[in-house]
Amino acid sequence: MTSRRNVLKAGAAGALALGFPAIVRAQSGAIKIGHLTPLTGFLGALGEYAVMGIKMATEEINAAGGVMGRQLDVMSEDSVNPATASIKAQRMLERDGVEFLMGEINSASAQTIMQVAARNKRLFLQIGARSDVLRGKNCNRYTFHVDIPVTVMVNAAGQALLRDGHIKGKRIFALTSDYLFGHDLAKAAKAFIAANGGTIVGDELTATDTTDFSPFLLKIRQAKPDLVATNLGGNQVTNFVKQYAEFGLPYPIAGFNLNTADAWAAGEGNLAGIWPTVWHHDLDTPGTKAFVAAFRQKYGKPPENHAWIEYVSLKIMAQAMNATKSVDTEKLIKYFESQAEFDLLKARKGYFRSWDHQLIQEAFPFTVKPKGQAKDKWDILAFGAAVPAANQPLESINPSKELNACSM
Amino acid sequence: MQFLFLLEQVVNGLVLGGYYLLIALGLSLIFSVGGVVNLAHGAFYALGAYGAVEIAKHLGFGPAVVLSPIAVALLGILFERFLLRRFYTADPILSLLVTFGLALVAEQAIRMIWGAAPLPFGMPQAFKGNVTLGEFLFSRYRLFLLAVVALVLTGIWFLMHRTSFGRVVRAGIQRPDMVAALGIRLQPYMTAIVMLGVGMAALGGALFAPITNVHPAMGAEIITVAFVVVVIGGLGSFWGVVLAALLVGVVRGITIHFVPAAGEASMYILMFLVLLLRPRGLLGERIEKFE
């Protein structure tokens, strides 16, 4: 009796699981794209926005007739961790027949997918990971990087800190997340601080799964610095700023990494200081205004920077495929390396630098609005003017060849 | 000065240990009485936090911290009655699998209901900032947290050691067969213990929500710490769990003072040492049914 019912249940579940991919596969002639991003773990919240962004771009492109008359079929999956990311990337290329790979936020996972791309000689548009080494020491010719590298983040927040007199002649306490991205960020931050006359008085590493920062807060109080500079990732930043506000320490705080989702999660009254970002929803350009309005209508909340970057990334790929009339990796690489320009919904257009495949674009510092000025829970941030300034070359905030050598 | 800094870390570690205790004590009680390692304990902690965020929107912070744990404790009754109860006498691997599965389901359910993005949540302005007592700095909020923990702890101790309810439960831990022979059904007691345990976890979640990230995987973060505390403290002992929780907090503080990067690893090293020297845990009692 029960066994028959169980067999039926299992059969139904199996049919459901098998049935859906079959429907997707049935779309003949679609261009298949493999998309990997963390949907669980400490970057999962950002990955959710990433999927929203790329989904919206897919729907827009397909509604307008697709690319070269073919529909786009983006398969998004949780990249989980570096090892799983690499296995899934290989499977997508080998078995699912995707033309190229896109995605990632975690620098360590991006690294393993880059290796898969190089081994298979297939394009990987690395969207959201920011570690310098990905486009420096460990670069390869099959990978292009959309998000700003950590050096740019340090420069964007650093310029604002310098202007406000927080660096020169000041004693700075650095707190760094103990993994690839954190180390990279700390290296760039320390170089910037040293070059601009600041002194590091505390330099501490913290595990990525730290949720309670109270022992570190005590050490900060003991060091009595002029500035607390954080090089943390994902959830950590939110935990840290919430507890910093809880303890009410008087030292100004800044950081070289903060995603808008983590800033929103801290909530009004908890966040303070100066931070960098690659894009924000308050940006006053027609492109951003239209994108934010459409996103709000579809999802009922403003887009986070990872939603924006995935959206423009798919548009970049669509432009490249249309221009080359091809999905072929070699032709696409050639097109990107020609330093063709792309609309990023910002004031200035961006392009991939040919020697390290980094998308060159504007970045922004931001601070926090005074209490009571926020219109809603997403309106707590005050965004500064774009860096570099309009009269300076876009490349000026990026690492130079000497600083971050890449040889393909 | 150096010594004073270290002492400050020790005191701060005790405060943190108090909060760990809130989660670990329930886990230990459920384990001791039912023989079930409730891997879904973290899920109730997370639900406590999410519940507090929702309730605070309408009723404010105070009612949220009280009502959310009560709601989760009621959920705990259903959990015990329809799920956990079937596994007390079964192979322990089954209850591990079931509660682990439930933890995954709960995390995904939270993600589906509230989204993967963390929810913003703050504390009333009055709790913000610090108090210095002598040379030591305390967060005002954590002192409040400590007071709540002390209150709950006293209540639990009284319940377990000064009431007939507690006598039956403690007897049930040691000799369930004898309790049954005396004509006492342990099942309603077990329901109450689970309710109490997950309620405490939810209280921990609600209290910690203003100072941590409220996100779907927060339960998975805490269950490991709670489990380590229970293992170090030893089964069946109220004071064992108390001692272990405080020890974990203090050792973590001291480690971060000297080797900051090893802060999160310190409790595992501590667990390793304790298991090596006292496999039953610091104050663990010999429990026949687990031997």
* Residue A354 forms part of a structural domain: yes
Q: Which residues of A touch B17 (CB under 8 A)?
A: none
> What pLDDT does residue A286 have?
96
Question: Which of B122, B137, B263 shows the shortest C-beta gap to A269?
Answer: B122
Same domain, A237 and A373: yes
Distance from CA of B264 to the nearest CA of A (A): 6
Structure tokens at A300: 């009922």
Same domain, A157 and A141: no
Same domain, A224 and A346: no
> What pLDDT does residue B289 have?
67
The domain spanning residue A335 has which CATH number? 3.40.50.2300
Residues A238/B218, Cβ–Cβ less than 8 Å? no
User: Distance (Å, rounded) from C-alpha A355 to C-alpha A232?
Assistant: 29
Look at B118 and A265 and tell me if their CB atoms are within 8 Å: yes
Distance from CA of A264 to the nearest CA of B (A): 6
Please check the confidence at residue A163 and state whether its pLDDT lies above 70: yes
Q: How many CA atoms lie within 13 A of B121 on its CB side?
A: 28
Same domain, A250 and A273: yes
A119 contact partners, CB below 8 Å, separation of at least 6: none
Look at A269 and B116 and tell me if their CB atoms are within 8 Å: no
Nearest Cα residue to B288 out of B174, B167, B169, B170: B174
> What band does A41 get if pLDDT is binned at 50, 70 and 90?
confident
Please check the confidence at residue A19 and state whether its pLDDT lies above 70: no
pLDDT tens for residues A53-112?
Answer: 999 999 999 999 999 999 999 999 999 999 999 999 999 999 999 999 999 999 999 999
B-contacting residues in A 151-190 (Cβ below 8 Å): 178
CATH class, range B2-290: mainly alpha
pLDDT tens for residues A345-388?
Answer: 999 999 999 999 999 999 999 999 988 888 888 899 999 999 99
Please check the confidence at residue A11 and state whether its pLDDT lies above 50: no
> What pLDDT does residue A21 have?
43
The reply to whether B3 touches chain A by the CB within 8 Å rule is no
* Residue A120 forms part of a structural domain: yes
Same domain, A249 and A340: no
Please check the confidence at residue A338 and state whether its pLDDT lies above 60: yes
Same domain, A88 and A168: no
Q: What does the DSSP assignment read for B6-70?
A: HHHHHHHHHHHHHHHHHHHHHHHHHHHHH----TTHHHHHHHHHHHHHHHHHHH-HHHHHHHHHH
Please check the confidence at residue A9 and state whether its pLDDT lies above 90: no
Look at B130 and A245 and tell me if their CB atoms are within 8 Å: no
Q: Which residues of B touch A105 (CB under 8 A)?
A: none
Same domain, A373 and A249: yes
Q: What does the DSSP assignment read for B185-203?
A: -SHHHHHHHHHHHHHHHHH
> What pLDDT does residue B255 have?
96
* Residue A408 forms part of a structural domain: no
Question: Which of A211, A222, A261 shows the shortest C-beta gap to B117?
Answer: A261
Question: Which of A209, A221, A239 shows the shortest C-beta gap to B137?
Answer: A221
> What band does A23 get if pLDDT is binned at 50, 70 and 90?
very low
Same domain, A124 and A258: no
Q: Which residues of A touch B261 (CB under 8 A)?
A: 178, 204-207
Under DSSP, is residue B108 helix (H, G, I), strand (E, B) or coil? helix
Same domain, A114 and A236: no
Please check the confidence at residue A13 and state whether its pLDDT lies above 80: no
pLDDT tens for residues A254-295?
Answer: 999 998 888 998 887 888 899 999 999 999 999 999 999 999
Structure tokens at B258: 């000297």
> What pLDDT does residue A225 have?
97
Start-to-end C-alpha separation, chain B: 49
Same domain, A343 and A304: yes
Number of separate domains in chain A: 2
User: Distance (Å, rounded) from C-alpha A308 to C-alpha A38?
Assistant: 16
CA atoms A156, A188, A305, A249: torsion sign: negative
Same domain, A129 and A42: yes
pLDDT, averaged per 10 consecutive residues of chain B (291 residues), comes to 88 93 94 89 97 96 97 97 89 92 95 91 90 88 94 95 94 88 92 96 96 92 93 88 96 95 94 94 79 66
Instruction: Say which DSSP state A207 is in.
Output: -
pTM for the whole structure: 0.86
Same domain, A177 and A226: yes
pLDDT tens for residues A196-208?
Answer: 999 999 999 999 8
Question: Which of A40, A242, A245 shows the shortest C-beta gap to B212?
Answer: A242
Average pLDDT over residues A167-196: 93
Distance from CA of B123 to the nearest CA of A (A): 9
Domain extent, residue A140, equals 29-148+284-360
Please check the confidence at residue A27 and state whether its pLDDT lies above 70: no
Question: Which of A40, A214, A267 shows the shortest C-beta gap to B120?
Answer: A267
User: Distance (Å, rounded) from C-alpha A112 to C-alpha B212?
Assistant: 31
